[in-house]
Amino acid sequence: MEKVHVDLKEKSYDILIENGLLKTVAPRITALLPQVSKAAIVTDSNVGPLYAGILEMELKKAGIEAFIIPFEAGEKSKDLATLGEIYKGLAQNGLTRSDAVIALGGGVTGDMAGLAAATFLRGIAFIQIPTSLLAAVDSSVGGKVAVDLPEGKNLVGAFYQPKAVYIDPDLLETLPERFLTDGMAEVIKYGCIKSPGLFKKLEGIKDKTDLLAEISGIIEECCSIKARIVEEDEFDNGGRMVLNFGHTLGHAVEKTFGYEKFTHGEGVAAGMALITQRSEALGLTEKGTAKRIIKILEQYGLPVTADVSRGDFLSAIALDKKKRGKKITLILIQKIGESLLYPVDIEGLGEFLP
C-alpha cells in the first residue's frame, strides 16, 4: 500500500494506492466516517457497469445504504443539466449532511460529483475513487471541482477537498489505450517540472505491460508532487502555476482543432515539446532537454508538434484565462526536474511560439 498524505490543516486527507483496493474501501470509509449511513456512487456509463456493482455490494456489507447515480460518459455531460440530475438523485434518496458522495470514474465524474458534494446541503462528505490515469495523478488531487458552461470549461466550481482518495491501479486495465496515453502526458509533465528520477524511470519503460507493472509507484510519485504543490497554494494564487507546463500552448492546440483532434494530454504533450524547443533556442533551458522530451513523448505515442499558425496561437492564448492583464506567465523548464516561471508581455510571446 502506498500512501500520500495531503496536509491542509483541518482539511487534510490521505491518498491510498493499492491493487485490489476497490474491494476494501467500504470498511475504510466506515472507519474514517462512522457517521455515514448512506452513500451515493456517482459514476458514468462506461465505468458504472464495470465497477459500481462491486462497490455498492461492499458498501452494503459494511452497513452503508448505497445507491448508484449514473450519467452518460464524456465531457459533454459535465454540465449544469447533469449536475441537476445528480442533485435530484441525492435529494430523492434522502441524503443528509452526515452522508457521503463517492465519485467512481475519471476526471469528469470526480469534478462533477465533487461540485455536487460541495454544494448539496451546503456540503457533504466527498470520497474520490479515480479510475482513469488522469484522474489518479491529477484531477483527484487538489480539491478543484467544477462543471462546464457553453461559454467555457470549468466555469462553475469550487475548492472542495475530499475526505479520502482511493486509487486501485487494477481498474486501469479496462481504461481505453488513448486515455492511458492521455494521462501519461501529465505524468511526463511531473517529471519535467519536479523529478529527474521519475523522468528517468519513465524513459526506461518499454511497453504497456512494463508501465502497468510500475504504475502504483508512478502514481504515488505524481500524487505526492501535486500534493506538495497544492499544500503551498490551496486556492491557486500562484504556486500551482508550475502545473501548467505545456498547457499554454497545449490549450491553444486543443482549441484550434475544436477540442476534437487533440485530447488534453496530446495538446499538453505538443505544448511541452514546442515551448522547450523555443526556450532552449533562447538559452533559457539546458541544451539537449527538448530532444529528451521529444523522445520520451514519442516513446509513449504522444504528439510533439501541431499544425497551428502563429495567429491561431496568439488569439487562443489571448483568451486563455490564465492571462493576467497584459502579462502572461509562461512555465519553462531550466532542465529536467526544474521549472521556471517566466512572465512575458503579449508582444514578447512571439519568441516562444514555433
Which of 77-82's residues contact partners 24+ apart within 8 Å by CB, and which partners?
A: 77/44, 77/108, 77/112, 78/108, 78/111, 78/112, 78/146, 78/147, 78/148, 79/147, 79/148, 79/149, 80/147, 80/149, 80/156, 82/112, 82/147
How many positions of this chain bind ligand NAD (CB under 6 A)?
30
Told to check if 105 binds ligand NAD by CB under 6 A, we report: yes
Looking at the Cβ atoms of 173 and 207, the one nearer to ligand NAD is 173
Select the span of 44-52, 81-89, 95-103, 282-290 touching ligand NAD (CB under 6 A): 44-52
| DSSP-derived secondary structure for 211-243 | HHHHHHHHHHHHHHHHHHHHHH-TT-SSGGGGG
**1: which DSSP letter?**
-
Residue closer to ligand NAD, measured from CB, 96 or 174: 174
> Cβ closer to ligand NAD: 105 or 280?
105
Please tell me whether residue 294 binds ligand NAD under the rule CB under 6 A: no
Shortest distance in whole angstroms from residue 45 CB to ligand NAD: 7
Q: Closest distance between ligand NAD and the C-beta of residue 40, in Å?
A: 17
CB of 193 to ligand NAD, least distance (A): 15
- Interface residue with ligand NAD among 58, 111, 168, 254 (CB under 6 A) is 111
Interface characters, 164-203, with ligand NAD (x: CB under 6 A): -------xx-xx---x--x---------------------
Contact predicate 147/83, CB 8 Å: yes
Q: Which three cell numbers stand for residue 202?
A: 519513465
- Orientation angle between helical segments 289-299 and 264-281, nearest 10 degrees: 160
φ and ψ at 119, to 5 degrees?
Answer: -115, -25
Distance CA 244, CA 116 (A): 26
Under the binding rule (CB under 6 A), the answer on residue 70 touching ligand NAD is no
Please list, residue by residue across 29-42, b when 16 or more beta carbons sit within 10 angstroms of its beta carbon and e when fewer do.
Answer: bbebbeebebbbbb
Does residue 138 belong to the site contacting ligand NAD (CB under 6 A)? yes
Return the CA Rg of the chain. 20
Phi/psi at 162 (5° precision) = -75, 165
CB of 57 to ligand NAD, least distance (A): 18
Contacts with ligand NAD in 72-91 (CB under 6 A)?
73-75, 78
- Residue from the set 134, 137, 253, 306 that interacts with ligand NAD by CB under 6 A: 134
Choose one: 99-107, 117-125, 248-256, 312-320; the region binding ligand NAD (CB under 6 A).
99-107
**Which residue lies nearer to ligand NAD by CB, 43 or 277?**
43
Stretch that binds ligand NAD, among 130-138, 191-199, 287-295, 314-322 (CB under 6 A): 130-138
Figure out which of the listed residues 70, 89, 107, 250 binds ligand NAD, where binding follows CB under 6 A.
107
Rounded Cα distance, 183 and 207, in Å:
15
Instruction: Quickly count: other Cβ atoms within 10 Å of residue 138's Cβ.
Output: 26
Using CA atoms, how far apart are residues 241 and 12, in angstroms rounded to an integer? Answer: 22
| CB of 140 or CB of 285, closer to ligand NAD | 140
47 binds ligand NAD (CB under 6 A): yes
Nearer Cβ to ligand NAD, position 38 or 189?
189
Q: What is the end-to-end Cα distance of the chain in Å, rounded?
A: 44
Shortest Cβ 281–ligand NAD spacing (Å): 30
Tell me the residue length of the chain: 354
Amino acid identity at 82:
T
When asked if residue 154 is in the footprint of ligand NAD (CB under 6 A), the reply is yes
Nearer to ligand NAD, 153 or 200 (CB): 153
Site residues (vs ligand NAD, CB under 6 A): 44, 46-47, 50, 73-75, 78, 105-109, 111, 131-132, 134-135, 138-139, 142, 144, 153-154, 171-172, 174-175, 179, 182
